[in-house]
Structure 1
Amino acid sequence: MAKGHIMVLPFPAQGHVVPLMELSHRLVNHGFEVTFVNTEVNHALVLAALPTSGPDGLHGIHLASIPDGLADDQDRKDLSKLIDAFSTHMSAHLEKLVGEMEAAGRPRVKWLVGDLNMGWSFEVAVKLGIRVCSFWPVSAACLAIMLNIPDLIQDGVLNHKGWPEREETLQLGPGVPPLHTSLLSWNNTVAPAGQPTIFQLVCQNNRLNDLAEIVVCNSFQEAEAGAFKLFPGILPIGPLLVDGGESQKPVGNFLPEDTACLQWLDARPRRSVVYVAFGTFAVLDPRQFQELAEGLELTGRPFLWAVRPDFTTGLDKAWLHDFQQRVTGTGMIVSWCPQRQVLAHPAVGCFLSHCGWNSMMEAATNGMPVLCWPYFCEQFLHRGYITDVWRTGLAVSPAAADGVVTKEEVRSKVDKVITDQGFKERARWFKDAASRCIAKGGSSQHNFTTFVDLLSK
């Protein structure tokens, strides 16, 4: 008999689904029954991308879905519209789902393990007598800054609408990445018109977090010692990366993985390949795409590049055909790939990344130097970990005149990151530190045991 029925609810975006799916696999392994709730649109994407047929491919995780409040043809990458819709509509649907599961004979939901970005669900859970665990999917430093909003307003750094009153670099404490006030996550995620929706969500979630009995996050002690010192109530249980035979378990990808790239990597020399991936939200205009492509070509190094179908639009087809012909045999372009396995492959020597937190944890776990190219939200803060705190890589610098990262900049920074011995040594140290944290007796393993024990009560 299962220890208890747990409902898991992510924010409806790829970078939030993945760590909670990884956590769900661990909970199933510890004897819990898990129902994973996606929005209807994302549920369909996950099912379509499963490497095996149907939901049985999730190894015991039950999949469920509820509407997000948007019409089928509306743009779900417009985060202000998405947040406004789900904040208004999803509460009733979640409550209905819980009732339907009980009516169908499923065990009563005992716990909600909810993404803190979906704080509204905590109120639904408390109303239904369901206990709440708050899960934070990105860096603890990001949450620390959000929890400090009242102090930042009181100190005159921010106004009451979340906009900076002063142009300065913030650093909450030693070991926490510096961040310029112009790059605060709630201000750089959407166009200014949508900022009030994002800032309101952040402030509301700070308040609703008090409904949770425990707060856990996908990080580890050595990675963010400064942030955990400031907020010791946030328990790191990561990196939440399945390993060994577990690496074949699906983690809720929205696009099918092209595993042919692994065989391509097998034929490349050790630590020679530049792996390039920008997550699921980043979009480059045609000029920037061309500069990046030609910069990779200029390095003269083999590269593996994940290019989503919607990564750019309006490319000159003749240019693209010519580029692909020139890099045949040197570069491989795929729409999506098994990133965990790619970063663990001995042929990969550098990761050019948008600095999403899952990617940062995967890089750290595999001792991978990183070239940072943040796109939005908390990714600029994560860049600070790589460049200023961990010192395991560099960041690209856009040209001052037009903000474009040139091909020469790409070539230069790739060469520096992939050849620098200091980056390699420090990246290996983080790999060892991450391994110690999740091993028996490690800090993350201890916190995870505390977490499981609470869920078992």
Structure 2
Amino acid sequence: MSNDNDSSKSLTGPHFLFVTYPAQGHINPSLELAKRLAGTFIGARVTFAAPVAAYNRRMLSKENVLQNLTFATYSDGHDDGFRPSTSSDKSRQQSSRQYLSEMRRRGRETLTELIEDNRRQNRPFTCVVYTILLTWVAELAREFQIPSALLWVQPVTVFSIFYHYFNGYADTISEMADNNPSGIIKLPSLPLLRLRDLPSFIVPTNAYAFVLPAFLEQIESLKQEETPKILVNSFQELEQEALTSVLDNFKIVPIGPLITSRTDSETNAEYVEWLDTKSDSSVLYISFGTLAVLSKKQLVELCKALIESRRPFLWVVTDKSYRRSKEDVEEKEEEIISIVVSWCDQFRWTDQMTNAKLLEDCWRTGVRVMEKKDEEEVLVESGEIRRCIEEVMEEKAEEFRRNAARWRDLAAETWALQALGGWENELDYCHELLDADRHYVITRSPSLGGLEAMRESEVSYTVKAILANPGNESSWRYLKALYKDDTESWISDPSVSSVCLKVLSRTDCLHGFALSTLLDLLCDGFRPTNEHRDSVKALANEEPETNLANLVCTILCRVDPIRANYWAWRKSKITVAI
């Protein structure tokens, strides 16, 4: 399909293709990651593909993006927007199943066109990143022999629950739902969970249980990969327990928080001006995401609770509920203290799906409503909603705000490390991916002649990237990957040792990656020249050691303090005098 901001200029770096499901909670984090990759990797090109309807509904902004990030479309079969039936649970299930089926069919067709079109124009995709519910994208990537990774936009705890459900715990959970709804279950590496703590799709009686097979398909699709890769929109401090679990051979890497610190759109919108008239921490924010549809009874209860709370609120509702919700509020409130909008800037209001268990018990930043059965419908009454509003805004307001501020600061610290440097742990996978995708294409494409035939040109490309930005570790890692299982060529190729020397001789850049590469060369048997010795000694504040490898480790302990213990360990393992 279409590819905006098109350029005929072919780039030699990796070409990432992002494919997102048309929901705000998928689009926001995937677009943020796409922007980061576009700004991180030298020579990289990033194409961001979303359904036509997502662009028509203004679900993403194309403002203020780098030139190497372009936008493309694919069809989900509903270019004018999908409107599920709301007449009954059964009709909603049927229309949603039809939508997912049509998205698979039309999505494969139009995304195939996009992949083939980029190949014809000599800019093939070298890696695909896709969001939840798009297993057909992973299938397509395998058919085209393109490495892929799943971007899991929910908490990693949710992924672990789904994984364990489909790997031995389905019967236990179903039995608990039927015979002991208030019981407790212990899943590996997760806190104790009750039935209401589990994703609603898992409970057979839930109206959205029909989506469960899609998540089973997601898990099974990952198992078809040799090394399944999952990027999660979380960070270590937020979900320490879940992130320590090992699930088969899945490689799970936290790369969150995938939120932006700026707003590109709607800065002068009416709701922003209205918010500016309110005091801090006084406005309720209500949103049920892109997909959820409230029943008429539930809308009435919610409107009643909001109005009786006598607090200003901003309510973001979907188009299908917008008119009815706005009318309900305005009918019952002469003095308008609220604003109801069909869309607002989701960069300002984080649209991540969260698990209520984490929110209430682990993060301690909110409360959970208690529902009740009303005839055939599960309902949260207005009195219960008011109770929760008062608890959050009054009784436990100070505690919740203090906890939220702590998580905000941890998230901001993680984001700052990513944006300003020191993102080594979270970017390890992305670095490996950069190494792997070019390596994969070179070694798997017969027309290219294999690694040996392509090594000289790839080394030349990589050396140029290193000299342009010596602080980009991915280029150094890729350089070494070009000599995998060929130590003799690694230590004898002058291109490798000379690029180390060139960087070490410069005064306008950091030297850490050049030093670590030189250390690898020395430990593998490289014989340094006097120029190498002199360039290293020039960087030493310490008394120069006779063993050059030891001296390199000593300098690295100083210039790379985050990994000082690692370099000390490397030094302790050096046994050959160089």
TM-score (norm 2): 0.61
1:408 is displaced (CA, Å) by: 2.5
Measure how far apart 1:259 and its partner are. Answer: 2.7
- Structure 1 residues 324 and 449 mapped into 2: Cα distance closer, same or farther (>3 Å)? same
Change (3 A) 1:447 1:215: farther
Deviations 1:57-81 (A, max 9, x none): 6554322222224686864574322
> 1:351 maps to what in 2?
none
Letter of the 1:284 partner, please give it: L
Q: 2:56 aligns with which of 30, 40, 44?
A: 44
> 1:301/1:323 Cα in 2 relative to 1: closer, same or farther (>3 Å)?
same
Relative to structure 1, the CA distance from residue 96 to residue 175 in structure 2 (aligned partners, 3 Å threshold; closer, same or farther) is same
1:224-239 to structure 2, matched below 5 A, reads: 224-231=239-246, 233-239=251-257
State the match for 1:377 in structure 2: none
1:231 Cα deviation after fit? 3.4
1:27-38 equivalences under 5 Å are 27-31=37-41, 32-38=44-50
Task: Give 1:418's match in structure 2, choosing from 393, 397, 409.
Answer: 393
1:145 aligns with 2:161: yes
Give the aligned residue type for 1:422.
Answer: E
Q: Is 1:455 aligned with 2:454? A: no
Q: Could you say if the C-alpha distance between residues 341 and 157 of structure 1 is closer, same or farther in structure 2, counting changes exceeding 3 Å?
A: closer
Q: TM-score, structure 1 length as denominator?
A: 0.76
1:337: which partner in 2?
A: 344
Q: How many Å separate the matches in 2 of 1:181 and 1:248?
A: 35
Is residue 197–residue 357 contact of structure 2 (8 Å, CA) maintained in 1? no
**Which of 264, 288, 291 in structure 1 is aligned with 2:274?**
264
Higher relative contact order, structure no. (Cα contacts within 8 Å, ≥ 6 residues apart): 1
- Asked if structure 2 preserves the Cα contact closer than 8 Å seen for 1:166 and 1:181, the reply is no
Q: 1:12 to 1:190 in 2, by over 3 A?
A: farther
1:119 aligns with 2:135: yes
From the superposition, tell whether residues 400 and 156 of structure 1 become closer, same or farther in structure 2 (CA, over 3 Å).
closer
* Counterpart-to-counterpart distance in 2, 1:97 and 1:297: 49
Whether the 8 Å contact between 2:127 and 2:147 is mirrored in structure 1 is yes
The equivalent position to 1:383 in structure 2, one of 356, 359, 362, is: 356
SS of aligned partner of 1:62: strand
Identify, as 1 or 2, the structure richer in helix: 2
Distance 1:118 1:164, change over 3 A: farther
Is the aligned partner of 1:99 residue 2:72? no
Whether the aligned pair in 2 keeps the contact of 1:5 and 1:33 (CA below 8 Å) is: yes
Residue number in structure 1 paired with 2:214: 201
Offset of 1:18 from its aligned partner? Answer: 1.7
The aligned residue for residue 378 of structure 1 is: none
The one-letter amino acid paired with 2:415 is I
Whole-Å separation in 1 of the counterparts to 2:287 and 2:196? 27
CA distance in 2, matches of 1:266, 1:13: 28
Secondary structure in structure 2 of the residue aligned to 1:311: helix
Contact 1:68–1:86 (Cα < 8 Å) also in 2? yes
Contact 1:66 1:94 in 2 (8 A): yes
Aligned to 1:79, which of 96, 107, 123?
96
Shift of 1:271: 1.7
> 1:438 touches 1:444 (CA, 8 Å); kept in 2?
no
| Seq. identity, % | 22
**Structure 1 CA distance, aligned partners of 2:291 and 2:270?**
24
1:131 matched to 2:147? The reply is: yes
User: Secondary structure at 1:395's aligned position in 2?
Assistant: coil
Aligned 8 A contact 1:175 1:389 in 2: no
- What letter matches 1:323 in structure 2? K
Instruction: Report the secondary structure of 1:186's partner residue.
Output: helix
Question: Does the CA contact (< 8 Å) of 1:295 and 1:408 recur in 2?
Answer: yes
Cα distance in 1, alignment partners of residues 347 and 80 from structure 2: 31
Select 1:68's aligned residue among 56, 71, 76: 76
1:240-296, CA deviations, whole angstroms, 9 ceiling, x for partnerless residues?
A: 0111xxx2247xxxxx78732222222212222212222112222333223222322
Query: Could you tell me which amino acid in structure 2 is paired with residue 263 of structure 1?
Result: E
Change over 3 Å in CA distance of 1:274–1:156 after alignment to 2: closer
Q: 1:158 and 1:165, CA in 2 relative to 1: closer, same or farther beyond 3 A?
A: farther
Note the 1:410-449 alignment, pairs <5 A: 410-419=385-394, 420=396, 421-440=398-417, 445-449=423-427
- SS of the residue corresponding to residue 222 of structure 1 reads coil
Distance 1:97 1:5 in 2: 13
Aligned 8 A contact 1:305 1:334 in 2: yes
Q: CA deviation at 1:335?
A: 2.1
Task: Give the distance between the partners of 1:452 and 1:316, measured in 2 at CA.
Answer: 45
Match of 2:195 among 180, 183, 198: 180
Matches within 5 A, 1:319-338: 320-326=329-335, 328=336, 330-338=337-345
Q: Greater Rg, structure 1 or structure 2?
A: 2
Residues 275-354 of structure 1 aligned to structure 2 (within 5 Å): 275-311=285-321, 317=327, 320-326=329-335, 328=336, 330-341=337-348
8 Å CA contact retained: 1:284, 1:312: no
Unmatched runs of 5 consecutive residues or more in structure 1: 251-255, 344-355, 361-381
Root-mean-square deviation (Å):
3.5
Deviation string 1:145-176 (CA, Å, 9 cap, x unpaired) is 121134335764449xx997864443425654
Letter of the aligned partner of 1:435 in structure 2?
A
Q: Note if contact 1:158-1:166 (Cα within 8 Å) is conserved in structure 2.
A: no
Structure 2 alignment gaps of length 5 or more: 1-10, 85-91, 436-578
